[in-house]
Chain A
């Protein structure tokens, strides 16, 4: 259960204050599928980062599973990210030195799993995403779609309740993008909360709920209705 109450975030650039988020309130139920849309610079990524505990709001309260996250220290926040949240980025962000399997393994290592269990889980995850045969390849030896699948495998390996995806198809061709969306939606059907930033109205329409952001505010917040299709 995600609950944002009056969240504000502003950046100081020289003498100018940029208000990336202005008093945003938002609640997302477990298992929800939320699309975040809006023009460039409207604060979508900032919102996602705050939900993902990568960034702290200047004002407001953020409750995650009834817990006030603004009180948590760095360690505790890291633990929350580790166990409850999975990130998927537009630019994949795989560690170039490590193989696909090792990239997927990273969160398990951070959480202190033992080697046998790690191996098992990584293998399963890669198989589930259809890239088991690429497990020993380094990112530069993979296609964009394959890279994003590795990133998704990494995001879901800890079985988090929430997946945050910031333009996951932004760097992919249409077909690969489709496959990635299918995978993410599948995970959503299995009960994971999916919050996805996208510029693509068609993709946005697939979500069960859609918010439109403009200039740091939520302009509209619509549950998906039949007419929109």
Chain B
């Protein structure tokens, strides 16, 4: 018996009982669709975070003051150290060939006012190099000028929200506004870039780092962002940072260096694990669909007993009957799985329509895995009924009416 004929015959039997076939397909489609849709969501979340990370710039390292000795503990994102991470520390890092750019960051918040309007805004002190490192872009004017970072200059760059709040539609370029007690001239406005990992780049004012330190009356930095000269030099850059700081801090290792890659791969692992878990939970429904297939096939075998007897009388061997029934379950689950894929495609398409920013993507492995698991379920749960059919005694099967 040819494979094509086996499949065709099973297909005919499946379409012979329309309602039940449709319901089985529905069950299978729900299961497969759910698995694919959930992995697509997980993958979307992963891509979203990855995109956020890379939009921060590439080959980045972040230097934080302080260090935690507990292995596996979180880095000291908060808190202070007796010895500050200073602007000079940051600038000394530039000497390493593994490091391309260095942006020292001082952060604080202060009221920003122009004429009668005032607003509490996050003030970031940095240098011209921040522009390239964070891959910022300007809507108007220009970014902080490249100059000696230790020099205080009374210029500032505004995030677009701050600009809108204070100036409305008027151009702020060249205007003098007040930050804390000091006056700054606006030289540029950032394009809306949206929230990127905690810092809302719209609700911010950027001033030269030395001015910020003077404004907040501190000599310490919040952190230093470093761009390595290439992908391969990230590790070298990290070592250079640790060595340089240790030299400058009298042999103390009192900074923590986080590489973007390490962060990224950590997030990657977490998201992949989460996606797999959720998909696995959803896959339980495939087992339920499998049980349904088994149940209906069992019923089918008992309803079609005489048919099976007849098939044997006209020369079907037990093996052929087994194959017929197995392939019927397989055909059912395969079509169900395909419907599930369709459901998932419709789901992702709709989601992309509604939330274009969230990149819901069906990973190819989930397609293959979901369809594969779906069909496998059909086959596995089809074995029992098929064996029952194959084992029927032809005489008895025929005599039952």
**Residues of A bordering B, CB below 8 Å:** 49, 52, 54-55, 74-75, 77-83, 85-87, 89, 91, 93, 95, 97-98, 102, 106-107, 109-112, 114, 154-155, 158
Give Cα distance in the complex from A70 to B100, angstroms. Answer: 88
| CB closest chain-A residue, reference B306 | A93
Name the distance in Å between A212's Cβ and chain B's nearest Cβ: 23
> Contacts A91-B401, A110-B1, A111-B1 given: A74-B314 contact, CB under 8 Å?
no
Is the CB of B295 closer than 8 A to any CB of chain A?
no
A110 in complex: contacting residue of B306, B314, B394, CB < 8 Å: B314
The interface-forming segment of B30-38, B163-171, B212-220, B317-325 is B317-325
Are B16 and A154 in contact (CB-based, < 8 A)? Answer: no
A78–B312 contact, CB under 8 A? yes
Given A55-B394, A78-B316, A106-B314, 6 more A-B residue pairs with CB atoms under 8 Å apart are A75-B318, A78-B317, A81-B313, A89-B313, A112-B1, A112-B5
- Summed over the interface, the residue pairs from A and B with CB atoms below 8 Å come to a total of 77
Query: Please, which residues of chain B bring their CB within 8 A of the CB of A95?
Result: 307, 310
Inter-chain CA distance A111–B2, complex, in Å, is 8
Contact with A along B1-35 (1 / 0, CB 8 A): 11001000100110010000000000000000000
B395 at the interface (CB under 8 A from A): yes
Closest to A95 in B: B307
Task: Report the separation of the CA atoms of residues A169 and B320 in the bound assembly, to the nearest whole angstrom.
Answer: 31
Dominant SS among interface residues on chain B: helix
Measured CB to CB, the closest approach of chain A to B110, in angstroms, equals: 81
- A-contact 0/1 string along B283-323, CB 8 Å cutoff: 00000000000000000000000110111111111111000
Q: Are A109 and B315 in contact (CB under 8 A)?
A: no
Cβ–Cβ contact B315 & A82, under 8 A: yes
Asked if A110 and B311 make an inter-chain contact with CB atoms under 8 angstroms apart, the answer reads yes
Say yes or no: is B154 at the interface (Cβ < 8 Å to chain A).
Answer: no
What separation, in Å, do the CA atoms of A110 and B318 have in the docked complex?
Answer: 12
Query: If the complex has contacts A54-B313, A79-B315, A93-B310, are A109 and B5 also in contact, measured as CB distance less than 8 A?
Result: yes
Could you tell me the dominant secondary structure of chain A's interface residues?
A: helix
| 7 sampled A-B residue pairs with Cβ under 8 A | A54-B394, A75-B319, A77-B317, A78-B312, A87-B314, A89-B398, A114-B2
Interface core residue of B13, B320, B398, B401 (most chain A CB under 10 Å)? B398
The distance in angstroms between the C-alpha atoms of A219 and B174, with both chains bound, is 125
- CA gap between A86 and B5 in the complex, in Å: 21
Nearest-CB distance from A44 to chain B (Å)? 13
Bound CA span A49–B398, Å:
11
State in angstroms the CA–CA spacing of A10 and B167 once bound together. Answer: 105
A110–B316 CB distance below 8 A: yes
- Given A55-B395, A89-B398, decide whether A110 and B315 contact each other with a Cβ distance below 8 A: yes
The residues in B between 345 and 401 inclusive whose CB is less than 8 angstroms from any CB of A are 393-395, 398, 401
Which residues from B are CB-within-8-Å of A98? 12
A110 and B319 CA atoms in complex are apart in Å by 11
Assembly CA distance A111 to B1 (angstroms): 5
**How far apart sit A91 and B401, CA to CA, in the bound complex (Å)?**
9
Closest Cβ–Cβ distance, residue A53 to chain B (whole Å):
9
Smallest Cβ-Cβ distance to A49: which chain B residue: B395
Complex interface: chain A residues within 8 A of B5 (CB) = 109, 112
Chain B neighbourhood of A102, CB < 8 A: 12
Cα A111 to Cα B320 in complex, Å, equals 10
Q: Are B398 and A93 in contact (CB under 8 A)?
A: yes
Asked whether, in the complex, the Cβ of A83 is within 8 Å of the Cβ of B398, the reply is no
**A107→B398 contact, CB < 8 A:** no
Q: A residues within 8 A CB of B311?
A: 106, 110
- Nearest CB to that of B2 among chain A residues? A112
State A111–B314 Cα separation when bound (angstroms): 10
